[in-house]
């Protein structure tokens, strides 16, 4: 993961705020705070810090939560929002989530954007934009594609700086841990690098 890329994420999420986009509600902000707690939990477990919450839009009842657990689950599908959507469907005993809002700390990837469409998620709110893999406005705008039978315009950049900061700090810690290990082992490559 490239450092400069992650430094740009916060800026991108600010730029992503457009006049024609629905504004986040106070409840969306509160749910993002909850998603950030889940993201920190992921970081504590050595997972890339992303957290997600699905809530019933009219009542605010939380139906599903998740944090990234790709490493521990050894599954490419174990993204935070993927797990939160599956749990919400199980709680509702329904695969349709039209009256629900997904709140996630990082812009959904193509896989998760596909699940959002298939689950008919009514609203999507995200924190940091992902210029490398985002499919909800950055690389693709899958959830707004007119050719598909369900569309949702995401609300980007909600607490985007805090979401991006968590990711930057995680990758910085990872890099410094790698350097320390390399120094301790005194590998020939490290010696050459000095
Ligand atoms: Zn994903």
Per residue in 80-90, pLDDT tens?
A: 999 999 999 99
Question: From ligand 1's centre to the CA of 194, what distance in Å?
Answer: 38
Q: Which of 47, 65, 81, 107 is catalytic?
A: 81
pLDDT of residue 21: 74
Per-residue pLDDT, averaged over 128-155, amounts to 97
pLDDT for 11: 45
Task: Give the side-chain half-sphere CA count within 13 A for 169.
Answer: 13
Contacts of 45 (CB under 8 A, 6+ apart): 69, 72
Q: Which of 116, 78, 125 is nearest to 97 (CA)?
A: 116
Phi, psi dihedral angles at 131 (to 5 degrees) = -65, -15
Catalytic residue flag (residue 86): no
Residue 66 has pLDDT above 70, yes or no: yes
| Residue 103 bridge partners (DSSP) | 53, 125
Q: Is the predicted pLDDT of residue 193 greater than 60, yes or no?
A: no
Residue 30 has pLDDT above 90, yes or no: yes
Q: Across residues 110-119, what is the average pLDDT?
A: 98
User: Residue 167: its pLDDT value, please?
Assistant: 97
Residue 110 CA to ligand 1 center (angstroms) comes to: 7
Alpha carbon of 181 to ligand 1 centroid (Å): 30
* More confident position, 55 or 190: 55
**Residues 172-192 pLDDT 10s:** 999 998 899 888 887 555 444
Instruction: Give residue 13's pLDDT.
Output: 44
Closest by Cα among 117, 131, 89, 122 to 103: 122
- Whether the per-residue pLDDT at 146 is higher than 90: the answer is yes
Query: Ligand 1 mean position to 123 CA, how many Å?
Result: 16
pLDDT bracket for residue 194 (50, 70, 90): very low
Residue with the larger pLDDT of the pair 20 and 164: 164
User: Which pLDDT score is estimated for 186?
Assistant: 76
What is this structure's pTM?
0.85
State whether the Cα torsion 26-31-35-40 is positive or negative: positive
The answer to whether 116 and 102 have CB atoms below 8 angstroms apart is yes
Burial class (CB in 10 A: 0-12, 13-18, 19+), 115: buried
Indicate the burial class of 10 (C-beta count within 10 angstroms; 0-12, 13-18, 19 or more).
buried
């Amino acid at each position: 993961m490239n450092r400069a890329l992650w430094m740009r994420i916060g800026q991108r999420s600010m730029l992503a705020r457009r006049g024609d986009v629905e504004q986040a509600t106070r409840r969306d902000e509160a749910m993002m705070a909850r998603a950030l707690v889940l993201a920190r939990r992921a970081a504590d477990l050595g997972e890339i810090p992303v957290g997600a919450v699905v809530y019933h839009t009219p009542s605010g009842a939380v139906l599903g939560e998740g944090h990234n657990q790709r490493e521990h689950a050894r599954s490419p599908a174990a993204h935070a929002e993927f797990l939160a959507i599956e749990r919400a469907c199980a709680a509702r005993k329904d695969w349709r989530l039209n009256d629900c809002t997904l709140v996630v700390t990082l812009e959904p990837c193509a896989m998760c954007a596909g699940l959002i469409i298939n689950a008919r998620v009514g609203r999507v709110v995200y924190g940091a934009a992902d210029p490398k893999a985002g499919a909800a406005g950055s690389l693709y705008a899958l959830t707004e594609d007119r050719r598909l039978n369900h569309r949702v315009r995401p609300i980007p950049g909600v607490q985007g700086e805090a979401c991006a900061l968590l990711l930057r700090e995680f990758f910085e810690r990872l890099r410094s841990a790698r350097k320390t290990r390399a120094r301790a082992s005194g590998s020939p490559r490290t010696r050459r690098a000095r």
